[in-house]
Structure 1
Amino acid sequence: MKKRILRIIILLLLVGAVFYFNGGFEKLLKSPTVQAFGDLIVDFHTVGPIFNLTNMKPGDSETKPIDVTNNGSVSRIIAARGTRTGGIGLDPKIETVLNVTIKDGSTALYGPKSMTDFFSDSLSQDGILLNTINAGDHKTYNFLVEFPTSANNLYQAKSVTADLSFGTITGNNVVFNEVYYIDTKKKTRFKYQWIELYNPTRQDIRLKNWTITDNSRTTVIRSDKKIKAGGFALLSDDGTVWKLWNEPKNSLKIKVVKKFGNGLDVDGDHVVLKNSSGIEVDRMSWGNDISGFTPPAVNPKAALGHSTERQTPGFDTDAASDWVDRNPPTPGN
């Protein structure tokens, strides 16, 4: 009996392996309504133009739910773009009177604004900012188009078609992502301080001769190591600190020659990151030091044993609101 069960299991494994290596799962999961935009998996629930608006009457509306999944390993700021792909009718075109609203649940993220403005706003560098989706999570965005009841007969027999695309907003250089400066061990608190950098770009970046400056002095990164695209680097002046944390095993760890400044000031300090050419690429601060943001603002002092962390890796508006108190700290994530 056991041998028979074993044969059946082996047979199933073999069949499964053949199915897998012939692209079975990929074909099974593939849908004509689903598209990938980098780490994002987007289900439009329709094939062809997302909106094909014709013969609309005053008071009519149409809603399209779009499911977006963050298939990456870090949180992402989501952005959308709308593109006019066709339509019928002379000026004034129907999109000048149609209103567009984008919602996440009951929360309006955009609009109501005219569809003409929607197309125009989509042309900006980052498209239309929606909100954040954490790694592995998904959200349903509802795109609502309304024909106002106040519209007149100028728009009869006119139409417009439109498509949507999605992407993520990232920075263009390495940034500070998390700072741990207030350890529970007061006597040796400088020893256990660490800084996490994040590379939101699409290329690996060499960190040799980059510098970190606080309110007292400058620390130089002497190690000739690269931070990978979409990766993290953990910096400390004592390698034993990582025995206290559960960071990913493959994390890039860089030991700096001296502690940051004269030790990061718990009550208030700032850090400035410069590349090997001496060009400033990022800065931030906390506590009673407000110099790390534009305009100057307070990033509250972290609680004992907590860190201060960027809300979304790589998303930098130079504002204190980019940062949160993180408990527990998450080095390398």
Structure 2
Amino acid sequence: MDKQPHLLLSPCPFLEMNLNSILETFQNHFCIVWFSEFIKNSKQLGEKIVGILTFSEQTYINKKLLDLLPNLKVVSVFGVGVDHLDLTLIRSYGVKICNLPGIVTSPTADMAMALLLASARNIVSGVQQVKNSEPTNPIIADTAVEITGSIMGILGMGTIGLAVAKRARGFDMTILYHNRKRRPVEEEQEVGATFCPYLLDMLTQIDFLVVCVDLNSSSTKMIGEQEFRAMKPSATVVNIARGLVIDQDALVTALSEGWIRGAALDVTYPEPLPRGHPLLHLNNVIITPHSGTDIKETFEKMANGCFENTLAGVEDRPFPLPIKV
């Protein structure tokens, strides 16, 4: 066992129930070293570690740790987001980084549409009213909005954004998008999307904003007071990217004061929100627990993809799933 490549792993609370199934994929090829064990025996274990398996938003990989791992070859991310990593620092040590692009595209895009539909048609409040009220009480639908024929704005037309656009076309929605770079014309034509070089111009026109952009220094709190005020009072915001892309204080104000109709969020900051957070007490917001990829089949694909990437990195082979940021 000790002759196997050593893989450093820190437990991830939101994956604790599935952690054993992840480990089953790895344990035939790697000796798992838990981070708590490593801290106690860093001098003895440091030279043995050749890989790190990390999960989104785990921020323990820093210079102090990297200095203890002279033979580290790869940092393997169980997910797509790498905003929790200092990529420049890690690469300066000659360490490769891999994530799981592509695997989560479809389930995440499906989640975006599910949130949009649930918010637009007041699905959650409707279910609650049926369960909690007398059967004869009508469901009040004066805040529901039309989906078919509406205008969707996509912030961040990457792989996931493009998948969302394809789904929106099934509802005859007009697609606008804002990106740092314009997509190829053939891709725009495929989904009938129109590029908007200026974010505020797009926001004034749309009925639904779907946030798909990567989190980085330029996208942090990209949607704030100015952006909410530019939107229609009937507009809905759907966020499947990262919580920090939206200024949550501004979002609370926008929802409370009627600048926008509603919000549907699969991501927040922090996760989970503190129990007293105002977003949890607003009737015009839906919040799900970062569950865009919470499907058994998707999870299995992620575990297998992460294993194949990690093994390739340790064996100095090209990654089957090269990083895309």
User: Which structure is higher in helix share?
Assistant: 2
TM-score after normalising by structure 2 = 0.26
User: Which structure is higher in strand share?
Assistant: 1
Bigger radius of gyration, 1 or 2?
1
TM-score after normalising by structure 1 = 0.26
